[in-house]
Amino acid sequence: MKIILFSFLFLSMTIFLSSCGEEEKKPPSTDNIESTSVDFAPGERVAYTPSKDENIQQYNLKKQRALSTSNTPCDTLSLKEFIGEHYAPGTYLVDFDKTFTYNIPKAAVIYYNKGGNFIFGIIAKSKPGDRLIEPDNIVGYNQSFIDLDSTDLGVAFFYLTLFECTGNQFNVIWEAPIPSHGGLRDMRLDRWAYKGTQYMKIDFYYARGSGHIDYNYFFINGFKSKPHLLMTYEGIDFKRTLTNVNNDKYPDYYEYLYFNSGNRIAVLDSIPFYWSQKDSVYISKRDRSLRRPY
């Protein structure tokens, strides 16, 4: 009985080892594996290697193009490719914040097909000579804290840019800086009720103040001309609202003063500011020494 049991165990082990040996000899299949052509040295950091980041972005765009079912001239993928080819490394067409937790974020573009094929887009540029930014680190509520540690994550410079596309060829009409480094939410085309002037409203979260900041770009001389910037905002104890003060074509605003004792918050006053074309600043109607750039 012992001899039979020993023979059975020996035979089982032989079969097991034989099958393992055959398995090890089989090379892994590469039929469904596509090379990224992006190789990294040990310890290499992509954020500090613009050429590697550029290769990754090109690879991702190729994958997106292959998976897209509706490739058309002047589409968003074509715009991303244009930015990758004509802008410095570390420049990206950013996305809006996700509406829901698991949905796919939309690219920060608005198509404007009046008198041509125009696209308003928000791009972010990395600070020259610094580490490259990561688009995920500059969009959303939590990313509005980036001003506190932006040097560790790279410094992003946002721009509202107007592109014109003709025959799948893009041209930059103008770009206007957005004075923020992180926390983008969304943008939309709006209209000023007083003058009927169109403007682009770009909304950023401001988590430190439990509020938001709006950068409003007014098309005073039409959308093909570089727009005029007016900033408005609202939070727990700060507020600035759009208004008309001196009846000209430029928008103005009210700056609110708050009393905050820790137990009670109340509005004390509202101060009107108007745009001075001569000085190119906003000036308080009560005290001309109080001036704001936008």
Q: Could you tell me the pLDDT band of residue 101, with boundaries at 50, 70 and 90?
A: confident
pLDDT of residue 29: 38
Q: Is the pLDDT of residue 172 over 90?
A: yes
DSSP string, 222-261: -TTSPPEEEEEEE-SS-EEEEE-SSSSSS-EEEEEEEEE-
Q: For the chain, which residues make up each domain, given as ranges?
A: 47-183
pLDDT at res. 197: 96
pLDDT at 250: 97
Residue scoring higher pLDDT (36 or 279): 279
Lowest mean pLDDT among 4-8, 58-62, 129-133, 221-225: 4-8
Lowest mean pLDDT among 35-49, 106-120, 126-140, 249-263: 35-49
Residue 19 CB burial class (10 angstroms; 0-12, 13-18, ≥19): exposed
Measured distance CA(82)–CA(233) in Å, rounded: 33
Q: How far apart are CA 119 and CA 294, in angstroms?
A: 24
Q: How far apart are CA 79 and CA 111, in angstroms?
A: 12
CA distances from residue 97 to 101, 112, 197 in whole angstroms, order as listed: 10, 21, 27
pLDDT bucket at 276, cuts 50 / 70 / 90? very high
CA distances from 27 to 23, 24, 69, 280 (A): 9, 8, 35, 70
Amino acid at 162: L
Listed ranges 75-79, 120-124, 149-153, 264-268; the one with the highest mean pLDDT: 120-124
Q: Record the pTM.
A: 0.82
Higher pLDDT, 36 or 203: 203
Structure token digits, residue 219:
């098309």
Residues 6+ apart with CB under 8 A from 74: 117, 119, 165, 168, 170
State the pLDDT at residue 56.
80
Q: What is the pLDDT of residues 18-63, one digit of tens each?
A: 444 443 434 433 333 344 445 555 445 667 777 777 778 888 888 8
Distance, C-alpha 237 to centroid of its chain? 27
If one compares 250 and 46, the residue with the highest pLDDT of the two is: 250
Judged against a pLDDT cut of 60, whether residue 14 lies above it is answered with: no
Strand ranges for 62-197 from DSSP E:
91-93, 109-112, 118-126, 156-166, 169-178, 184-191
Grade residue 15 by pLDDT with cuts at 50, 70 and 90. Answer: very low
Residue 17 has pLDDT above 90, yes or no: no
Cα atoms found within 13 Å of the Cα of residue 236, Cβ hemisphere only: 11
Percent of the chain whose predicted confidence (pLDDT) is above 70: 83
Residue 63: the pLDDT is 83
Please provide the average confidence, as pLDDT, over all residues in the chain. 84
Q: Which helix (H) or strand (E) holds 196?
A: none
Give the other-Cβ count within 10 Å of 230's Cβ: 23
